[in-house]
Amino acid sequence: MKYFILQLGCQMNISDGERVQRVLDEMGFEPTDREEEANLLGVIACSVRQKAIDKVYSRIQKWNRWKNKKNLITFVTGCVLPADREKFLKQFDLVFTMNELPELPTMIHQYGIVTPAGMQAMDKGLQEMEWPEKESRNEAAFRMKKAALPVETEKEKHPEKGIEEFWHITPKYGSGWEAYIPIQNGCNKFCTYCAVPYTRGREVSRPSGEIMDELRHLVENGYKSITLLGQNVNSYGLDKKGEEVSFAELLQMIGEFGNQRKEKFWVYFTSPHPRDMTDEVIEVIARYPCLAKQIHLPIQSGDDAMLVRMNRKHTVERYRHIVQTIRRLIPEATLFTDIIVGFTGETEEQIENTRRAMEEFQYNMAYIAQYSPRPGAVSSRWADDIPKEVKKARYHMLTEELMKHSLAYNQSLIGKTMTVLVRGKDRKNGYLSALTEGKLIVRFASDDEKLIGQFVQVKIHSAASFSMEGDLVAVEKSEPVNRR
């Protein structure tokens, strides 16, 4: 039997999906990229964006039509708002939160689908059961008995509860050289536009010992790009004061570990919040070679009044101090950000202030989103009063501003030789695609797929706004991989 999973949303959802795949693999299912071949169809959903939710509804309508022709079971998990969950309960067979993932095998068995791993045990159990009448022994009917519609559990009301057990599941990494390590779950910030506190609950920090164990395992097995994940990583440890290290101390532990290893690897993190970003964190990143010189620092808006309306709890001046500290201590670092355009009540003056902020901070990359209200978030009670065409125009204006600065930065690298990590085949035929330490895209001519997952040196000869092109100079020697 096979399973297909549609993964939507952020890197955290990708990481969550790796643990879902591990559970299904251990049940005896086999993955497939062809959903029409699957007996088990699932979605790792994202309620943060309306487009992602629209994709979920489109897919489940198709899957439910397929049920007229064959036996299927469908499930949805991930970041799901209560309002979306209520609708999903009527359309999916199983709806569960990530902290309930360890219970998924039981849910599937109760629903009635027969798994390869459980078939023998089930048959053995049926044979050993005492039946009052032989005629009443209908194994097929026994297996296909449908579970009753579940009532909301304590874990569903509080998504942060039981997340520690979820972290104990070993993920099925989707790559042999790149991996994600969740260090925290949930968020306490309650930005007015955001659904995360309602889908993932309050902040819970993962034990630093577990994080270091997973990091050590990955490095020993040849992983070269590792990203620490959390909704607000730099508040790591604040929920366990006196019991756990701070985020800066966690990074220092990782840096010291990196100094002891011969293998080369880069460690990233996402996403931090400007309110909790300390000078100490930046100082630690500057000190250790394995801590990648790339920082994703969401600003969301360049206007203080809009930041108050968004409940961001930081000002543009506070943000400016952080960026200036980064530029002073890590001048080679690239800077990424998140921005929302068309938020409720946004004026022409406020969007112009955001454009000015982009001009000042000269981002290498900005993920610009057109605002859409999410049920449950505070702003969903406010009028979505910016027309779509205005949002689109503001989006294009900020994108042009971004392209101007990213192009200038990329052009400044022409003639330089960069160390890059090859990530796969490029869309340009006969080329491979790679990322610099600062997560900038570099392509170079080569059809040697053995280079994927390796560090190489490329001399840059041309640049565009969001990518560069160069010539392969050398392949860096890798330390032997300790596969376990």
Tell me whether residue 186 is in a domain: yes
Are residues 284 and 167 both part of a single domain? yes
- Provide the 10 A C-beta neighbour count for residue 223: 21
How confident is the model at residue 46, as a pLDDT?
81
The residue out of 411, 431, 456 marking a domain boundary is 411
Parallel, antiparallel, or unpaired for β 365-370 and 334-341?
parallel
The residue out of 366, 394, 411 marking a domain boundary is 411
How confident is the model at residue 7, as a pLDDT?
86
How confident is the model at residue 113, as a pLDDT?
45
* CATH number of the domain to which 457 belongs: 2.40.50.140
* CATH number of the domain to which 11 belongs: 3.40.50.12160
Which residue ranges of the chain lie beneath pLDDT 50?
113-151, 155, 160, 483-484
Domains held by the chain: number? 3
- Amino acid symbol at 240: K
* Residue 219: CA count within 13 A, CB half-sphere: 21
Structural domain span for residue 208: 163-411
Name the β-bridge partners of 334: 294
Q: Say how far apart CA 215 and CA 243 lie, in whole Å.
A: 21
Q: pLDDT by residue (tens digit) across 57-99?
A: 889 899 988 987 877 888 988 877 777 788 888 888 888 888 8
Are residues 57 and 204 both part of a single domain? no
Q: Say how far apart CA 58 and CA 43 lie, in whole Å.
A: 12
How confident is the model at residue 247, as a pLDDT?
96
How confident is the model at residue 257, as a pLDDT?
98
Are residues 347 and 203 both part of a single domain? yes
Which residues touch 474 (CB under 8 Å, ≥6 apart)? 456, 457
Are residues 302 and 224 both part of a single domain? yes
Are residues 296 and 238 both part of a single domain? yes
How confident is the model at residue 137, as a pLDDT?
34
Are residues 59 and 179 both part of a single domain? no
How confident is the model at residue 102, as a pLDDT?
82
Tell me whether residue 455 is in a domain: yes
Are residues 398 and 350 both part of a single domain? yes
Are residues 210 and 330 both part of a single domain? yes
Tell me whether residue 482 is in a domain: no
Parallel, antiparallel, or unpaired for β 441-445 and 294-296?
unpaired
Parallel, antiparallel, or unpaired for β 431-436 and 455-463?
unpaired
How confident is the model at residue 52, as a pLDDT?
78
Tell me whether residue 217 is in a domain: yes
How confident is the model at residue 423, as a pLDDT?
95
